[in-house]
Structure 1
Amino acid sequence: MNSTPASAKKIVILAGPGESTDILFHALDAEFGVHRIIVETPVSQKQLLKRRTEKLGYATVAGQILFKLLIATPLSRASQGRMRAIKQQAHLNDQSLPEDRVIRVASVNAPECIEQLQALQPDVIVVNGTRIISKKVLTSVPCKFINTHAGITPLYRGVHGGYWALANNDPQHCGVSVHLVDPGIDTGAIIAQALIQPTAEDNFVTYPLLQLAAGLPLLKQAVRDALYGEIQLKPAPEGVSKLWSHPTLAEYVSNRRRTGTR
């Protein structure tokens, strides 16, 4: 076994801005020490809606907007106490990133990002909340790219995998995955997976935080294994691989009536 301590190796986070990135950084920094965080500028809402409309159609996107306005936003306000309780119970630190270790780029796929990665020469890269990473970036440095996904892959790829598993009466696949990153959407080889056990207090906006809390111990172990070349991949669970999107208002109401999923 390699005797070099993990603290002597370079861990770089490649991420989008947001609370989950803040929490993930502090968890890894406390465990290993994070060398740098490369943060991309997210796609604008206008561009995001345009892409989503081209892919899903106007009716679906309109339903998703209504869901956000009428369900997700009020749920978020009403669930602040539960969110604080989850963070406290799981010891999640959501303080802002230390700016002296942040490198900002326009996109994870921009030439400047590749230049930064090549200059840093990380031993492992942890991905969180970015756009799809190109093969050119993934092959730009000789190390593993590891991602934590809020869903059991490959059955629940895309977004809100915990919610969709519950909405499908599939609690045995309501969980989180840690996997290697490839150019696909949540299609990389699986390193570890864990289930979550939502309570009656939980809902659409708290599931991702439960998933993050359950995924962080798996991620820490995956990073440790990656640093020493000891990653062991797991077989994918049986079932149909599907890419999920945000629910529409009609889907949410239907799922609530059918399964009680909030």
Structure 2
Amino acid sequence: MSAAPEFAGKKIVMLAGPGESTDILFHALDAEFGVHRIIVETPVGQKQLLKRRAEKLGWATVMGQIAFKLLVAAPLGRSSRPRLQSLKQAHGLNDGALPEDRTIRVPSVNDPACIATLQALNPDVVVVNGTRIIAKRVLTSLSCPFINTHAGITPLYRGVHGGYWALANDDAANCGVSVHLVDAGIDTGGIIAQARIQPEPEDNFTTYPLLQLIAGLPLLKDAIRAALAGTITLQPAPEGSSRLWSHPTLAEYRANRRRNGTR
């Protein structure tokens, strides 16, 4: 799709992992601006991912996370399909497949092939979604900004499932989404904008991310406009301790459910 007249000649490139959120973001941004290309990395293999996580958290925690995924997250995801579909329809979200003629596959965002591709495309802004941590050598290979939408209020809820953890911590005021610049850390880049969400009673662990994506899309579009105009401004971080969050274990989820009802 060609870019809107005011962005003629500007190139928006997405750098992403495969998945539904990437599909939704692509179509939303393509309809608004025209996305030049989308570079999609091959995700880390499950065995390697679990091994890395165990090195950081220990196997007991990882086994508890696997139990949560199998016994809670998977059934919740199945029962929440009508709610998820309703949200997509209500907000006009398109989760169709990416166009192959504009999709470039790379082994990793940190692979030399990715850097070469980015430099050849020479984008005006790179929109990041669902990738592994991007190495500094990639971020410095271009002069344009890299922008990410994070499902949590940074820097309080870095890592994963920021909406869930805010609610589990009785911190609904910080249940939301952040649009930020990407640096070599984990969700530590400068904050461009943030928004809070207010889940309904039927929402749960598997629907919070879509609510966050919906709330984040207008912020991301504004950030892209600012990036293309060279007028990005950053806002102060909210008060509180910065923490990196991981997946809940089965025991943690059950304890939070008993304590304050967080689903």
> Which band: TM-score by shorter chain?
over 0.9
Report Cα offsets for 1:80-126 as digits up to 9, x if no partner.
00000111111111001000000000000000000000000000000
Look up the equivalent residue of 2:96 and give its one-letter code: Q
Where does the alignment leave 5 or more consecutive residues of structure 2 unmatched? none
Partner of 1:60: 61
Partner of 1:92: 93
Residue 7 of structure 1 contacts residue 33 of structure 1 at CA under 8 Å; is this kept in 2? Answer: no
**3-state SS in 2 of match to 1:5:** helix
Structure 2 CA distance, aligned partners of 1:194 and 1:7?
29
Structure 2 CA distance, aligned partners of 1:32 and 1:161?
28
Structure 2 CA distance, aligned partners of 1:261 and 1:208?
15
**3-state SS in 1 of match to 2:68:** helix
Structure 2 CA distance, aligned partners of 1:216 and 1:159?
18
Could you tell me the percent identity over the aligned residues?
76
Partner of 2:252: 251
Where does the alignment leave 5 or more consecutive residues of structure 1 unmatched? none
Instruction: Map 1:92-171; keep pairs closer than 5 Å.
Output: 92-171=93-172
Structure 1 CA distance, aligned partners of 2:185 and 2:136?
9
Task: Give the RMSD, CA atoms, in angstroms.
Answer: 0.7
Q: How far off is 1:8 after superposition?
A: 2.6
Q: How far off is 1:6 after superposition?
A: 1.4
**3-state SS in 1 of match to 2:50:** helix
Look up the equivalent residue of 1:98 and give its one-letter code: P
Residue 178 of structure 1 contacts residue 219 of structure 1 at CA under 8 Å; is this kept in 2? Answer: yes
Structure 2 CA distance, aligned partners of 1:99 and 1:113?
17
Residue 191 of structure 1 contacts residue 222 of structure 1 at CA under 8 Å; is this kept in 2? Answer: yes
After TM superposition, the runs of 4+ consecutive aligned structure 1 residues lying more than 2 A away are none
Provide TM-score, normalisation by structure 2. 0.98
Residue 167 of structure 1 contacts residue 255 of structure 1 at CA under 8 Å; is this kept in 2? Answer: yes
Look up the equivalent residue of 2:165 and give its one-letter code: W
How many residues get paired? 259
Structure 2 CA distance, aligned partners of 1:5 and 1:109?
32
Does residue 227 (structure 1) correspond to residue 221 (structure 2)? The answer is no
Partner of 1:8: 9
Structure 2 CA distance, aligned partners of 1:179 and 1:235?
12
